[in-house]
Amino acid sequence: MPTEKTKMLDGEPYDASDPELVAEREHARTLTRQYNATDETDHERRNELLDELLGSVGEDCHVEPPFRCDYGDNIHVGENFYANVDCVVLDVCRVDIGRNCLLGPGVHVYTATHPIDAAERAEGLESGEPVTIGDDVWIGGRAVIDPGVTVGDGAVVGSGAVVTEDVPAGVVVKGNPAEIVTEID
């Protein structure tokens, strides 16, 4: 019988009140609280906390506090990653972010989702879909990346965009819902 965590990671409906999942979220909250309380010059401590919190961290990774996530260990970032202040990653499923990626202030990345049907939602089960962000991507401030989305290499997501569908490589998207506005040479 699969555990609630296994179901969650596989994108199947799961019970978020499962004690194992609650404990893991509490652990992530402890680490993010500690991270968000670090002094801006304490680079070594920040690196230690990110290494413990995130699933994998490339070289030269910078996350400006405050930062929030659900579990942390489902987040994998490549080298030369930068996230500005107030970023949120709801990582009930895997989030892969490539190398040389920039997240503007207040970017939200969601893997968590809920049933559309109200009766099913009332039952309390949740699910998720992984998110993949390619290499050399820039996501502007206050943009939202929805569950199940892939953002292709070299893409740019404009500030405030709500990305509900996959973004091809080498394009700029803007708006709500995000639409391609130009191709990048």
Q: For every residue of the chain, which 3-state class applies, written as one string? A: CCCHHHHHHCCCCEECCCHHHHHHHHHHHHHHHHHHCCCCCCHHHHHHHHHHHCCEECCCCEECCCEEECCCCCEEECCCCEECCCEEEECCCCEEECCCCEECCCCEEECEECCCCHHHHHCCEEEECCEEECCCCEECCCCEECCCCEECCCCEECCCCEECCCECCCEEEECCCCEEEEECC
Active site residue 114: yes
Catalytic-role residue among 27, 43, 76, 114: 114
Annotated catalytic sites, by residue? 114
